[in-house]
Amino acid sequence: MFQGLLSTIAYVPLAGALLLLFFPKDSKKAIAWFATAVAGVDFLISLPLFFQWDTSLAGFDPVTLERHSWIPSIGAQYIFGVDGISALFVLLTTLLGVIGALSSWSAITDRVKEYYIFLLLLQTGMLGTFMALDFFLFYVFWEVMLVPMYFLIGIWGGSNKLYAAIKFFLYTLFGSVLMLLGILAVYFYYGAKTGVYTFDIVLLHTLGADPAFFELSRWVFWAFFIGFAIKVPMFPFHTWLPDAHTEAPTAGSVILAGVLLKMGTYGFVRFNLPMLPESSRLYAPYVLALAVIGIVYGALVAMVQRDWKKLVAYSSVSHLGFCMLGVFALNVNGLNGGILQMLNHGLSTGALFLIVGIVYERRHTRLISEYGGLSKQMPVFATIFMIITMSSIGLPVLNGFIGEFTILAGAFQIPADVAINVLGLTLGGKFWAICGVTGIVLGAAYMLWLYQRTMFGGLDNPENQKLKDCNTREVLYLAPLVACCFWIGLYPKPFIDILDKPVAHIVEQLHATGQGYAELGK
């Protein structure tokens, strides 16, 4: 690892996109190859973040930290840095980037050049968001990635693409401009207090220990909350998600589900918890309630979907609710599990969208009723789908289990006084955990039912009788995801090790001040 590594990772895709401009429009194959190669190289460059990571680090890695003056007039700096949490997300992004590019080779035949340019630009935007340690810079990247995603959905999407694209853009923008106000409020508060106007996240985190900041932080919490909750998306801000995920092209869905949604949860971990600890504790019960509603609601709605892709989309709502349950348990187990589950969701739901994409490419329909008995015709495909299904429903040996188990452990540890009273009932940590478990049960139900309806039964539909099994390329891009699912499921230690110290640090910041939830509530 070296200084400048992060910028290299972030801008290799951008450079690739610029180079793509010089490719002739019709050399589609060369364009796809080149874009995939760029994403692949980017992934390889990012590997040291995992394999050479110093797990004893609680804060941001000093070796790769970059700090340059950018807009001195307002105190915005160009700061790139990662801790264990963001390092894992960077890796997830680069991995899904390659897979996304590879999966588009045969799916995208129209306006290929523009497609890969947008895909690579999106990659830069996402990587920058995870690396930025300056709030201003963070916001810039956060917004930048909306534009390529808008085009990916709007140009290459399904039948209702325009509606889905604009809904995605507007929804997210509404959230993020409110977040911007929160950022400004923090910025001016810190500036007035210390005389230094800065967006440096590490400095702004110190506000967490400032009792006088509490009044303002309650407002800031909700400003951030709306911005991040829309991205997650939490119930009731989730309505953009089914449209966007369903209409987006396969790679778009993979990246949406795999990376973009994580930015919301990442935002909570990075900003709300350390910067606004008291408000986070104060409002945790409400967030938990929404998270649990999301888990159950998402699962129930997923169950009744007739559209394969929409089912997966709603399952995301449910799974992200799980992540939020973990994060807002506000303890080490919960956070560890929540963050790990974000990775798991990226891997398994990414794979699920790829799987839908594979059959959609062959049949051009997403209706579940159109399929049935595919396991006879496509054994390799069915095997992979089975593994991913098991991962998604949290079967032991696979990654989902580790994440869900840790989250539930965290939820059980929520102190009894973090509760809200509804009609005389005190709904606290254990209650949320129990609700979460029903989510797992429902999750198993809709996933297995989906599997049964599509893979088993008679191969009745004549259209399905000539379906081809996965080709090498398809196996190639699904294999790493399957491998990761097993890896995290069997030996999660390296991942937990990387997360452990930063998570402990955040929990420490969370409980540095204030007495407890109960007193704040009064």
Residue 307 CB, nearest distance to other proteins (Å)?
23
| Rg, Å, the chain Cα set | 22
According to the binding rule CB under 8 A, does residue 74 interact with other proteins? Answer: yes
Helix (H) / strand (E) containing 80: strand 76-80
Residue 235 CB, nearest distance to other proteins (Å)?
21
Task: Determine if the peptide bond prior to 236 is cis (ω within 30°).
Answer: yes
Residue 5 CB, nearest distance to other proteins (Å)?
22
The only residue of 181, 202, 444, 459 in contact with other proteins, by rule CB under 8 A: 181
Pairing assessment for the beta strands 76-80 and 66-71 based on DSSP bridges: antiparallel
Task: Show the site string, 122-151: x = touches other proteins by CB under 8 A, - = not.
Answer: -----------------xx--xx-xx--xx
CA angle at 154 for the pair 150 and 159, rounded to the nearest 5°: 145
The only residue of 65, 180, 420, 437 in contact with other proteins, by rule CB under 8 A: 180
The only residue of 18, 44, 63, 170 in contact with other proteins, by rule CB under 8 A: 170
3-state secondary structure of 71: strand
Task: Show the site string, 182-201: x = touches other proteins by CB under 8 A, - = not.
Answer: --xx-xx-------------
Pair 95, 346: CB distance under 8 Å: no
Q: Which of these segments, 64-72, 202-210, 291-299, 418-426, binds other proteins (CB under 8 A)?
A: 64-72
Would you say 118 or 451 has its CB closer to other proteins?
Answer: 118
3-state secondary structure of 272: helix
According to the binding rule CB under 8 A, does residue 19 interact with other proteins? Answer: no
Residue 112 CB, nearest distance to other proteins (Å)?
14
Residue 176 CB, nearest distance to other proteins (Å)?
9
Task: Show the site string, 150-169: x = touches other proteins by CB under 8 A, - = not.
Answer: xx--xx------x---x--x
Residues 6+ apart with CB under 8 A from 519: none
Would you say 107 or 181 has its CB closer to other proteins?
Answer: 181
Collect contacts of 503-507 with beta carbons under 8 A, ≥24 apart: 503/84, 503/85, 503/332, 503/335, 503/336, 503/339, 504/58, 504/332, 505/58, 505/59, 505/83, 506/269, 506/273, 506/274, 506/335, 507/330, 507/331, 507/332, 507/335
According to the binding rule CB under 8 A, does residue 72 interact with other proteins? Answer: yes
Place of tokens 């399904």: 158
Would you say 151 or 431 has its CB closer to other proteins?
Answer: 151
Would you say 169 or 401 has its CB closer to other proteins?
Answer: 169
Residue 144 CB, nearest distance to other proteins (Å)?
6
Helix (H) / strand (E) containing 190: helix 161-194
**What CA–CA distance (Å, rounded) separates 366 from 247?**
11
Pair 96, 259: CB distance under 8 Å: yes
Residue 124 CB, nearest distance to other proteins (Å)?
12
Residues 6+ apart with CB under 8 A from 60: 81, 82, 83, 133, 202
Place of tokens 């497609």: 115
Pair 42, 124: CB distance under 8 Å: no
According to the binding rule CB under 8 A, does residue 517 interact with other proteins? Answer: no
According to the binding rule CB under 8 A, does residue 178 interact with other proteins? Answer: yes
Enumerate the β-bridge partners of residue 66. Answer: 80
Q: Which of these segments, 170-178, 403-411, 427-435, 488-496, binds other proteins (CB under 8 A)?
A: 170-178
Residue 160 CB, nearest distance to other proteins (Å)?
13
Residues lying near other proteins in the complex (CB under 8 A): 70-74, 139-140, 143-144, 146-147, 150-151, 154-155, 162, 166, 169-170, 173-174, 177-178, 180-181, 184-185, 187-188
